[in-house]
Amino acid sequence: MEKCSKCGKKSVYSAQHGPLCESHFLRYFEKKVLNTIKNFKLINSKDVVAIAVSGGKDSTIALDIVAKYCEKRRIKFFAITVNEGIKKYREQTIKDIKKFCKEKKIELKEVSYKKEFGMELDKMIPLAKKKGWDKTPCSICGVLRRSLLNKYAKKWGATKLVTGHNADDEAQSILMNLYKANKDQFVRLGPATGISRKEFVQRIKPLYFCLEKEVELYTKLKKYSVQLKSCPYSSESFRNYVKKNLWKMEKDYPGTTTSILQTYLHILPTLKKEFMETSTPKKLRKCKLC
């Protein structure tokens, strides 16, 4: 077993700069998150921060670290969770997150598809199929989730919306938008998303540089009680396909995920400038029914 490059204790993780023991890994991980917040100016003292939580590992870590960050600086924050209505999956994650927030004394607000749209996701999917919509569950759910999070974060006064996206998620999003030629979405990635519009709360991703394997190890070492199984609909998504391929690339060519992020961040300012100069902002249309 390798020894920690900092203190000589038994190592639990092999970072790029050398092996790390448990306590140095935890410090390395937290420092990475705090540096992302600092270097990309994700949160300022006047912000009201909404932290989106699903009860999964990524968002629980983001909640824990960002809540501590805000508490220390007296920045207002709250957690927000969406109950999509996914049987044998979401009930448990909501239970976990409620328990976590109670223990940490964090205010948790809950919104649901049932209340907002009149039915659960489990009922929407067969209905969409019956109507002949050629959409995967995630493409329906993703839009509804994002819109609900934005709507309620805004309604409850948030100026920033934290999501638990990690480095692997982001690299997948970059590739997905590239493969599908989604130019509009492609320029909106990065640690702080969105070209500011008053209708939207800016989304920020403090775990941007944390690899999935680091998130998994941090979760294990911190003994979070979180759901490790994936959403039953996720296997049908294009993301899942890209994820599997990226994992294979990362295994065969270590460092691929980080290289994708670094290249993307390097070209992003040029892309944004070009995008602003050549595209006319789309007019946002309101739903005719609500």
Residues that bind ligand SF4 (CB under 6 A): 84, 137-138, 141-142, 231, 233-234
Query: Which residue in 14, 38, 37 sits closest to 25, CA to CA?
Result: 14
Cα distance between residue 101 and residue 78, in whole Å: 10
CB of 255 to ligand SF4, least distance (A): 27
CB of 144 to ligand SF4, least distance (A): 8
Q: Which is nearer to ligand SF4, 56 or 206 (CB)?
A: 56
Cα distance between residue 191 and residue 203, in whole Å: 8
Q: Which is nearer to ligand SF4, 111 or 268 (CB)?
A: 111
Query: Which residue in 95, 92, 104, 99 sits closest to 66, CA to CA?
Result: 104
Q: Which is nearer to ligand SF4, 143 or 276 (CB)?
A: 143
- Residue 12 in tokens: 């639990």
CB of 142 to ligand SF4, least distance (A): 5
Determine phi and psi for 45, rounding to 5 degrees.
-65, -20
Give the three-class secondary structure for 112.
strand
Report the 10 Å Cβ neighbour count for 56.
Answer: 21
CB of 232 to ligand SF4, least distance (A): 7
Q: Which is nearer to ligand SF4, 175 or 231 (CB)?
A: 231
Q: Which is nearer to ligand SF4, 52 or 204 (CB)?
A: 52
Q: Is the dihedral of CA 127, 131, 137, 139 positive or negative?
A: negative
Overall residue count recorded for the chain in this entry = 290
Q: Which is nearer to ligand SF4, 47 or 58 (CB)?
A: 58
Give the three-class secondary structure for 16.
coil
Cα distance between residue 216 and residue 106, in whole Å: 23
- Residue 200 in tokens: 């939207």
